[in-house]
Every structure is written in structure tokens, then in C-alpha cells.
Structure 1
Amino acid sequence: MTAVFEAASRGAEAPPELSILLVTWEPGEELLSCIDSLAVARHGCGVDLELVVVDNGSRWFPQAEVRRAWPDAVVIANTDNRGFGPAVNQAARVASGQVLLLLNPDTRVDGDPFTPLASAFGDSHVVAVAPRLVETGEVDDVEQEVFQLRHLPTLWAALRELWLIDRLWPDNRWLRRDRYLDRAREQAFDVEQPAAAALAVRASTFAAIGGMDERFRPAWYEDVDLCARLGRLGRLVYWPGSTFRHVGGVSARRLGYDRFLPIIYRNACRYWRKHHGLTGGLSFRALLASGMLLRLVTLPLRRRVPRPRSEAARAYARTLAVALGGEAPRPWDASRGPCAPARRPSATGS
């Protein structure tokens, strides 16, 4: 696995205040839309910005178009798909900003989100800031208020999701609390686990904790693990004065549900074992196995399924195997593969 590093020289300039880190795999039009909007915002903001793009072995990558939109971008072209966490760590190692902004390529901006985002780090106790995510208005939009903010995982939350309680009772008070839906999103507040689709982290803190845990491959749950570790060192803050538009779910759709589900739950098992020990890990696996059995049994009885029943059955069976200690399917083949965190499984998408 080799990488080709290309960067325009910054000379003796002062380091930027904020480095934007973009990870891509087989990017579509969303990448150029993202970078174009970032470039426009760059010229109108009061923060010195740097852009670092890491491409994970795409068959086609629009490097010339990226350079036209952002001439001094730092571009790293990997020869294979290393996964999201390793690619973020690559970007962080070459970034020179005081703040690292992890950003999905299916985001875009209006106006200047960077000046208010940087201002949130005026409090020395703040180690990470989550700007507000809103919908783009496109057909495939994920509801951002439900997607973006969560408390760290608990067995009670896992039980409700895996046993379909949240699906049957979507407005229950526990789910509203877990997703911060009981908080006014126009106000700033501390959070436990914002999604890494748009997450700014102090570069010094990111380095101090060793960056992303690269065992969470190819993607998903590395942001949960990151936030759990960041939360031990300081405050994570939701900051609505800075806003990004986000589509969401692009990687999951590209990968296919029958591959996505076992991979994300394999990483969930890894998270539980890492942060809650053997007892926590085994307890989660038991819930996961029972939840997949429940889905397999009730699948023929469901009137509406958001995907082919055969694909759903494969996804549940493969995830059941993961719960029992088996391996998840290969995360990508020659034509499919994830590049960045997408929507995590929820009751509405089970």
C-alpha cells in the first residue's frame, strides 16, 4: 500500500487556523459540489483555511478539478482503499491547522461557517465542536436532527433498537433523550457523540489520543470511539452558529445493505469490547443475536420493507453470524466500497 503525496508549497506562511480533512472513494458529483462551496466560503471568511484530500484508491479521482477549485490543496492518493480512519490519520499527519475539521464529501456550505466554528474553541476546555447539520433538500436526504447527535451507546439503547422497540414506538422519551431531540437545536450545548460527518477537533488533542483507532475498518463506529476518548479530556460542544448541509447515507447505499449491516455491527461489537470489557462485549453480542433472529422471524410478516426481502435476509443472517463470532463479508470488491461514515442503523431503517 503506497501513497502518492502531492502538495503545493506553502512557503514560509504562518500555519492555517483550520485544516479541512476530506476522505473520498470513487467520488461522484458531490465531492466537487462540496469543494466548490468550500472555496466560495473560503474567500468570505475570517479564518485561514487549509484543505487536505485523501482519496482511497478510486478508479477515477477528479484531481484537476479539485486543484482548479482549491489550487493549494494537499492531495494524498492511496493506491487502495485503506478505510476511513486510516485515511483521516493520514490527513491529520500532514495537516498544519490548529483545528482539524473532519468533513464528509456529501456536505456543502452556504455563507461562512468557519468563523463561528473557530470561535467555539475560545474556551480552552472545548476539545471538539459539532456544527449544525441540516438537510440539502435532495430526495435521499437523511433527517439530520435524528442522525447527528447521540449519547454514547448503552445496553438499554441497544436493546430498544435491536428488539424493535424504537421502531414500534418512535417517539418514546428514551429515544428522544438519546438523540438529543428534547433539546432546542438553535442553542449550543454539550454532547457526547456527534457524527464525524462534520466534526472539528483540536489538532493537539487529536494527536494526544493517537487519532482514529484504525481497527474500525473500513468505516463506522470509529467516530463513536473517537468521541468516547475525546470526552475524557474535555468538552464536546454542539455549535449551531456554524451550519453545514449534509445528504448522508451515501456510503451505505453504495456498499449495499447486506454488506453494510454486518460491518457496522462488527465494529459495534469491537466498540463494546474495547470500552466495556468482556462482560459488556458479550452482553451486546447477545442482544445483537436476539435482534437479528427477531428480524429474520418477522421479515415474512412485514408489509413494507425498504429493500428487497432477500437482501434484508442476507443482511440479518450475516449480522447474526457476526454476533456469534463469525466474520463480516469483505467490505468492498472491485465495484463497491465505502469512503466515509454514513448513516448508522436505526429502528426506522432496520
Structure 2
Amino acid sequence: MQLSVIILNYNVQYFLELCLLSVQSAVENIDAEIIVVDNNSPDGSCAMVRERFPHVKLIENKQNSGFPKGNNIGVAEAIGEYICILNPDTVVAEDTFIKVLAFAKKQKNLGIIGVKLIDGAGNFLPESKRGVPTPWVAFTKITALYKLFPKVVCFGKYYASHLTKNQTGQVEILVGAFMVVQRQLYKDIGGFDEDCFMYSDDIDLSFMALKKGKNNFYFHETTVIHFKGESTIKDETYMKRFQEAMNFFYKKHFKVSMLFSIFMKLGILFFSFVKMFQGKSKIKNEIEHFVLFSKDKNLANRLNTVIKKNLDFRDLNAEKLVFLESNANNSPVEIILDAHFVTFKECIGFMELQKNNNCTFKIIPKNTDFLIGSDNSIERGTVIKIGV
């Protein structure tokens, strides 16, 4: 078997459903298996998987054992030559795995492959490619030197600025939302370190691959949506676990002075508070204009009864997936993409194209009664029931 896709889920039923639909399409022409490991979700995720995706191997944990252990459980059941660690709040294109596997087979001494990630508004996520957060690199991140002096090479290592978002090349650290690695290498490394509950596990796995003498790659030729924040509410528990994760990585891999340890603790505390408050809801401009791309006029009528605002129906029987008018007054526009008639690859490309046009996006997955999406990378996403 070529590929095993491991999806660790906790309490994100609707995002998991969308993710599985995209993965299902992406492995149609690949000898692959899909494994969902559920960390004791109370939201009906397991029932949904059993009903809608009976071919998916479902592992139901009796407790939330964290990201590392949950993924290790999934990999232990996998039989693919390659494994993909995939978040449930992601959407892959139909050709994502074909492209990544073709690239993987051309590499010698391969470590881990990551891809270009965008958030639910189409914006590039810089954590798609990173450097090892050594004390110095961490210092440039915490003090925002990489933002103040973006052209200074020694300040840009945290986000691997030697590569642009549209360049494929070697990097040190990749993000756990999407990682492709040979199953044997994953086992040789020891998998995710279960002493870390979450948040620095992907940094540690990437670093362990480097220590094995392997080459990690950022691959820009396919894009994956990562809605972010769906499995975690950024509250006091988040802050505590983030601090623990950073402390775990430094204690495991670096020897630092007492003075720097104190500085790092203060920096981690500050950075954690920033992240926590980033997750709080913000006042948004109310959307008055909606655009539906579909071939289903009845769907447009149903949405009209739910949204009760200006809905522009773009009939894909008569026109292409193109946002024809420029948003001259820069008013907020919500674009709704019907995945019955728009491929996931088209959804992703359209989001990237329209990202600077004050647009938000929602997707209606096939054979569902909801639309789903996320307006930015720091808040929980939105699920709206539309009926059948």
C-alpha cells in the first residue's frame, strides 16, 4: 500500500466530515487507507464516520490522550509505505497526495514533507515552513525582530524566509497539520514524543528527522486549507499547555544558561497570553452580500430562507467560477462554494485568488445539510445548517 492517511479527531464533527470528503476524493487513484483516531469526542464524530464513511478505519479512544499518543496509535495500525499526519480541520485538493508522493519518490535521504497551507480566508500560513527554534531563533520570534527587519537573514529563520511561499526547498521544521513521511522513518524516530501533550510535537518530530541526517522539505506545488483553532479553544488551559510544550522542547534538545531560561519563561508567558487573546472573538462588519456558486437553483432558494439577505446566485451551468465584479466599495462579501459542482482544488484556488478582496468563504460539502468555513486563522470556524 502506498499511503496511510492518519486523522486524529477531537470534537470537530463537521470539519472532520469535510476533511474526509476531500481526502476520499484525493485517494481515489492511489492505493491508500484512511484511519481516523478519535480522542473520545462527545459531539457524534464517531457515529458520523461509521454512517458516512464505512470504509474508513475508526479507532475510538476512551480518553483524550493528546496529539502525540493519538497519532502514534493510528500509525501503529497503518500499513502504507508513506503516512500522512493530517488535521481534521483541513481540506486537501484532489491531486495533493499524487503530487506529494511523486515528489517524495524523487528525493534521496528524505525526511518529512510539508505543503503550502492557507487559512479559511485564503491567506498563506507562515508556519508552513519554519526553522529550528533555537534560543536565538526563538528570541527573534518573541521580540518580533523578524517583522521589524524582514530582509535581515539572521532574523528570518523562524519562518524559513530563505524560501518564499512559492518556492519548494529544504526547511528544518514543518507543521503537524500536514506531514508526509515514510512509515519506517516515523518508527525509527520513535514517532511523536508522548511526553509532550501537544503544540511542540511537530517541531520535535521534524527535529528528530534532522538528527537522523534526513532532509525535510517544504513543497509549494499543492495547497491545503487549514482552518486552525478548531480542536482548541485558546483559554487558560491552552496557555498552560503551550508553556509546557515549549519547556519540553528546550529541556529535551538544548542546554541554556539560567539567565536565558528566565528570559524564555517570561517570553513564553507573554507569547502564550498573546495567542490566548488572539482567540477571543472580535467585532466584525456584518455581511450583507452573499454569492453562491452552484448549479442548484433550489439550493439558492433554501439559502435565501436561512440567510435572509442579498444572495447572488451564480449558475455554473451558464458561467464559470469567476468573481466577475471588482469589490469597488470594499464591502464584506461571503462567497459560498457548492462542492457538488466545484472541486476542492477549485475551492482552494478560488480562495487564494480572492483573498485580498474583503471576501470570506464557506463550503457546502456533498450530501450535507450545512455550510462551513472560517473567516480567519485565530478564531473558531462557523457551521450553518441549511436544511434539505
- Shared fold per TM-score greater than 0.5: yes
Is 2:258 the partner of 1:275?
A: no
SS at match of 1:92: helix
* Residues 27-176 of structure 1 aligned to structure 2 (within 5 Å): 27-43=12-28, 45=29, 47-122=30-105, 123-137=107-121, 143-163=123-143, 165=145, 169=148, 171=150, 173=152, 174-176=154-156
CA distance in 2, matches of 1:69, 1:82: 25
**Normalised by the size of structure 2, how large is the TM-score?**
0.65
CA shift for structure 1 position 307: 6.7
Distance 2:271 2:60 in 1: 41
The farther-off stretch of 229-238 and 178-187 is: 178-187
Letter in 1 for 2:192: M
In the alignment, the residues of structure 2 paired with residue 131 and residue 272 of structure 1 have an alpha-carbon distance, to the nearest angstrom, of 26
- Match 2:265 to one of 279, 289, 300: 289
Paired with 1:187 and 1:19, the residues of 2 have a C-alpha distance of 26
Indicate how the Cα distance of structure 1 residues 165 and 187 shifts in structure 2: closer, same or farther if over 3 A, else same.
closer
Q: Distance in 1 between matches of 2:244 and 2:120?
A: 30
SS of the equivalent of 2:157 reads: helix
2:196 aligns with 216
CA apart distance, 1:287: 1.4
Gaps of 5+ in 2: 281-376, 379-388
Report the CA distance between 1:247 and its aligned residue.
Answer: 1.2
Match of 1:8 in 2: none
Q: Which residue of 2 aligns with 1:17?
A: 2
The offset of 1:119, in angstroms, is: 1.3
Change beyond 3 A, Cα 1:307–1:226: closer
2:111 maps to a residue whose letter is V
- Let me know the Cα RMSD of the aligned residues: 2.8
Contact 2:26 2:95 in 1 (8 A): yes
**1:224 partner amino acid:** I
Deviation at 1:61, TM superposition (A): 3.1
Equivalent of 1:183 in 163, 166, 169: 163
| Corresponding residue of 1:315 | none
2:359 match: none
- Alpha-carbon distance between aligned partners in 2 of 1:287 and 1:160, rounded to the nearest angstrom: 13
Would the alpha carbon gap of residues 178 and 17 (structure 1) be closer, same or farther in structure 2, given more than 3 Å must change? same
Measured against aligned partners, the alpha-carbon deviations of 1:221-245 in whole angstroms (never above 9, x if no partner) come to 0111111111122111111223211
Is the CA contact 1:150–1:191 (under 8 Å) kept in the aligned structure 2? yes
- Percent identity reads 22
Measure, in 2, the Cα distance between the counterparts of 1:225 and 1:196: 10
Aligned counterpart in structure 2 of residue 259 of structure 1, from 229, 237, 250: 237
- Partner in structure 1 of residue 217 of structure 2: 237
CA distance in 1, matches of 2:223, 2:269: 40
Amino acid at match of 1:159: F
The CA distance in 1 between the partners of 2:22 and 2:137, in whole Å, is 37
Deviation at 1:179, TM superposition (A): 0.6
Question: Whose Rg is larger?
Answer: 2
The 1:283–1:89 alpha-carbon spacing in structure 2 relative to 1, beyond 3 Å, is farther
Q: Which has the larger displacement, 177-186 or 33-42?
A: 177-186
Residues 95-137 of structure 1, C-alpha deviation per residue, up to 9 Å, x if partnerless? 0101110000110022211111111221231121112212332
CA shift for structure 1 position 89: 0.5
- 3-state DSSP of counterpart to 1:147: helix
- Shift in alpha-carbon separation, 1:196–1:283, aligned structure 2, 3 A: farther
One-letter code aligned to 1:133 = L
**Residue aligned with 1:200, SS:** strand
Higher share of residues assigned helix: 1
Cα distance in 1 between the residues matched to 2:251 and 2:69: 21
CA distance in 1, matches of 2:128, 2:271: 25
Which residue identity lines up with residue 50 of structure 1 in the other structure? E
Instruction: Report 1 or 2 for greater relative contact order, CA contacts < 8 Å, sequence distance ≥ 6.
Output: 1
Q: Please give the secondary structure, in 1, of the residue aligned with 2:24.
A: helix
Deviations 1:38-81 (A, max 9, x none): 112222x3x21110111001113333432454332111101110
Counterparts of 2:158 and 2:141, CA distance in 1: 11
Q: CA distance change for structure 1 residues 24 and 175 in 2, over 3 Å: closer, same or farther?
A: farther
Question: Which is worse superposed, 20-29 or 92-101?
Answer: 20-29
Judge which range, 76-85 or 284-293, deviates more: 284-293
Partner amino acid for 1:263?
R
